Homo-oligomer: A and B are copies of this chain.
Amino acid sequence: MSHMRSVSIKDIAQEVGVSTTTVSFVLNGKAKEKRISDELKDKILKTAERLNYRPNQVARGLRTGQTHTLGLIVEDISNPFFAHLARFVEDEADKSGYKVMFCSTENNDEKAISLLYLLRHRQMDGFIIIPTSGIEKEIRSLVNEKKPVVLVDRYFPSLDTSYVTVDNFKGASDGTKLLLAKGYKHILLVTLESDQVQMTERERGYKEAMSSKSLAESGDILRIPYDLTHAQMVKSIASHIDASPGIDSAFFTTNYLGVAGLEALRQLKKVIPDQIAVLSFDDNDLFRLGSPSISVISQPIREIGKKAVEIILSLISSKSEEPRHYILKPEIVERESI
Contact = CB atoms under 8 A, between A and B. Distances in A.
Contacts of A117: 54
A3 interface: yes
Nearest to A147: B2
Contacts of A56: 62, 121, 123
A25 interface: no
B77 A144 contact: no
Nearest to A122: B57
A122 B58 contact: yes
A195 interface: no
Contacts of A118: 99
A100 B99 contact: no
A1 interface: yes
A115 to B, nearest CB: 9
A306 interface: no
A36 interface: no
A285 interface: yes
B2 A144 contact: yes
Contacts of A55: 121
Interface string A261-280: 01100100000000000000
A326 interface: no
A62 B60 CA distance: 10
A83 B116 CA distance: 21
A327 to B, nearest CB: 24
Interface stretch (A101-109, A153-161, A172-180): A101-109
Contacts of A84: 78
A90 B79 CA distance: 14
Interface in A80-98: 80, 83-84, 86-87, 90-91
A47 interface: no
A245 to B, nearest CB: 23
A91 B146 CA distance: 30
Given A61-B58, A120-B54, A123-B58, A69 B101 contact: yes
Interface string A1-33: 111001000000000000000000000000000
A140 to B, nearest CB: 11
A266 B6 CA distance: 55
Contacts of A2: 144-146
Contacts of A102: 86, 90, 100, 102
A215 interface: no
A144 B83 CA distance: 33
15 contacts: A2-B144, A6-B145, A54-B121, A58-B58, A80-B80, A80-B83, A83-B83, A91-B104, A99-B101, A100-B101, A100-B102, A259-B289, A266-B289, A286-B289, A290-B290
